[in-house]
Amino acid sequence: MKREIRDRLIIALDVETIERALLLVEQLRSSVGMFKIGSQLFTAAGPEAVREVSRMGVPIFLDLKFHDIPNTVASAAAEAAKLGVSIFNVHALGGSEMMRRALEAAQMAAERGGIARPRVIAVTALTSADQKTLNELGIAESPTAFAVRLAKLAAEVGLDGVVASPHEIRPVRDAVERASFLIVTPGVRPRWTAHHDQKRVMTPAEALNAGADYIVIGRAVLDAPDPARAVESIIEEIEDS
Ligand SMILES: O=c1ccn([C@@H]2O[C@H](COP(=O)(O)O)[C@@H](O)[C@H]2O)c(=O)[nH]1
């Protein structure tokens, strides 16, 4: 059971340098299943950050949330596949053609390179968004209805899953019949941390119990004086729940 929980933890390497990222990977690799490289590290250090972390032999979720015209996203998707990441994502708001082209391009690049295709997942409603945020954008639906609608679109296109807040896990599972549909869930907070800018939050245990395949954790671990100890505390909190 303990192994199973560890495998479902993704640590967000939201740091400024490759050196700090590699140190975190070294400290945490035996405690977590995957590492996420997002906008901060990728903008600071580029694809070399992905290559360096990859050299450490750990799976990577490339969280760049591609959202552009289909041709540009397809080209970026091919590059993501060539980097050998396990998962990358696009914004579902880019629409079905954009998502389909991303999937096809990743498939083709992986076949050409003789490597496994990364799983391609879609961001639904950002976990930092609440009803006010959606209203600002002219969206009257609740965050849950909005996220479920986008998840269904991603599933229809054939994507492998979604990024969804803890509050949308059960509704998405109910709406998408595919058992293998991956749900990756940020916006989780152990009992002992602040919510920061995250709005639709639950604890790690609640998110896993609701059916998340993976939970993503950043600041609760990155800001801790001892990141390895913070991960162990999170695992203990999950086991005690
Ligand atoms: O809807 C989303 C999509 C992605 N994220 C990313 O997950 C981590 C969460 O970090 P915390 O410090 O644990 O809040 C971060 O890299 C986000 O870019 C998200 O939070 N919500």
**Is 66 assigned to a binding site?**
yes
Q: Which of 7, 68, 130, 213 is catalytic?
A: 68
Convert the pLDDT of each residue in 73-82 to its tens digit: 999 999 999 9
Mean pLDDT of the chain: 97
What is the percentage of the chain residues whose pLDDT exceeds 70?
A: 99
Could you list the residue range(s) of the whole structural domain that residue 61 is in? 2-240
Answer yes or no: is pLDDT of 237 > 50.
yes
CA distance 7 to 212: 12
Distance of CA 115 from the midpoint of ligand 1 (Å): 28
Closest ligand 1 atom to Cα of 222 = 12
* pLDDT band at residue 62 using 50, 70 and 90 as cut-offs: very high
Answer yes or no: is pLDDT of 1 > 70.
no
Convert the pLDDT of each residue in 63-117 to its tens digit: 999 999 999 999 999 999 999 999 999 999 999 999 999 999 999 999 999 999 9
CATH number reported for the structural domain that contains residue 157 in this entry: 3.20.20.70
CB 123 near ligand 1, within 6 Å = yes
Structurally, the chain folds into a number of domains equal to 1
CB 155 near ligand 1, within 6 Å = no
The pair of structure tokens assigned to 210 is 């609701």
Helix (H) or strand (E) holding 175: helix 169-175
pTM: 0.98
Reported as half-sphere exposure (CB side, CA atoms, 13 A), residue 85 has a value of 28
- ipTM value greater than 0.95: yes
The per-residue b/e assignment along 188-205, b for 16 or more CB within 10 angstroms, e otherwise, is: bbbeebeeeebbbbbbbb
